[in-house]
Amino acid sequence: MTILKKIITLCSVMLFFSCGQGNSQVVKKDDPLADYSGFYPYQNGFATVGINRKYGFIDKKGRNVVPCKYNFVYSFHKGLAVVELDRKHGIVDTIGREVVPLKYDFIGGFEDSNRAIVKLNGKWGYIDKKGNEVIPLIYESSNYFYGDKTTVKEKGQWYIIDTLNNRKRVQLDVDGLGSFYEGLASIRLRGKSEEGYMDMQGKIVIPPQYQSASYFYNGLACVKRDGKSGLINKKGKVVVPLLYDGHLHFKDGMAEVNINDLYGYINTAGKLVIPMKYTNSYGFYDGLAIARVSGKFGCINKKGETVIPFIYDEMYSGEGNFAVMKDGKGYFIDSKENVLFPGEYQSVDAFKDGAALVKQNGIWFFIDKKGKRLF
């Protein structure tokens, strides 16, 4: 199912550290994260923490506002977070109340709509932010709302529905449909393996001809044919030739491309403006991108010029600055390689949501952009 491609569970990204595994929820002054066996950067005001592989959230004062009792938790968005316990999903608010009971087999969050997708006993439907089942769980397949329409399947037939469950039958023999991104949904016809795109009126606008067809973003979609990827626009015109390995998307006007594990960058005209000579690369942000050469990280601008030399063992970008590691020492620098504040760390992570996770003298804690502990 299309929606499952978006799901990234916390277990795949959770960082575990040897910080002790106490049961107390009281924050210690000298070692604020000592009670937790795992923790993760802040997002939207809250950081995930774990005790004995059970997870909850702390706020920016270090208070354990959501107890560590869930098998998985997903980031807060507009005050709500999906949680899972014993394979049942629910939703909690920022003070730990279970505003949607843990009864569903799956819940897709409210990131792009006032409707969340839910699954129970093999059937799909939608709830609102109060947990009301506003679209009944009658569908055998469903997709996310982006805007006011999505696609669902009942008894083998696909429909286009709005947020009130008004339905329009898709008059095509469809095997698979995706969500509507920027008005177009990927489509695969019955008995065929190729994918194309359908509009909100149920008409094919880009014929199925691709091995895979991703979602549209800023008017472009990544498509693949014969194992190679490129980009098309909403008229189906190839903007970037299908020459590259992996997934392509533009960020800050540039897209990473790679062939045979060497990376470079193209512009929005599809021209290769930075040659493929890097062994790793990341998206541009504010005109700069991290890349790697000969095992060392540095930073380049959109002309491919080296802005920060390739001398770092690790390098992470976040909120206008960089967390770097060199010769076992970690610190933070700006785009001119100025050190932001005194202090060296055994480990550093990028700033996110105004805070960065660091390790110093064997102790993990969060700092603000002045290098001061949050708690």
Find the CATH number of the domain harbouring 72. Answer: 2.20.25
pLDDT for 10-29, tens place per residue? Answer: 333 333 332 332 223 334 55
Give the confidence band of 121 by pLDDT, cuts at 50, 70, 90: very high
Q: Is residue 54 part of a domain?
A: yes
Three-point CA angle 179, 138, 191, nearest 5°: 55
* Token output for 334: 């700006």
Q: Is residue 85 part of a domain?
A: yes
Give the confidence band of 112 by pLDDT, cuts at 50, 70, 90: confident
Q: Is residue 149 part of a domain?
A: no
CB 145 within 8 A of CB 113: yes
Q: Is residue 67 part of a domain?
A: yes
List all residues 6 or more positions away from 201 whose beta carbon is below 8 Å from its beta carbon: none
Q: Is residue 109 part of a domain?
A: no
Selected residue with higher pLDDT from 86 and 4: 86
26 backbone dihedrals φ, ψ, rounded to 5°? -80, 130
Mean pLDDT of the chain: 91
The partner residues of 90 in beta bridges, in order of sequence, read 83
What is residue 12's three-state secondary structure?
helix
Q: Is residue 22 part of a domain?
A: yes
Number of domains in the chain: 1
Residues of the domain holding 20? 15-104
> 263 to each of 26, 231, 309, how far by Cα in Å?
47, 17, 18
Report the predicted TM-score, pTM, of the whole model to 2 decimal places.
0.86
How high is the pLDDT of residue 22? 29
For every residue of 300-366, DSSP letters joined together read EETTS-EEEEEEESEEEEETTEEEEEETTEEEEE-TT--B-SS--BSEE---BTTBEEEEETTEEEE
pLDDT for 176-231, tens place per residue? Answer: 999 999 999 999 999 999 999 999 999 999 999 999 999 999 999 999 999 999 99
The pLDDT of 171-178, averaged and rounded, is: 96
How high is the pLDDT of residue 200? 97
Q: Is residue 58 part of a domain?
A: yes
Q: Is residue 69 part of a domain?
A: yes
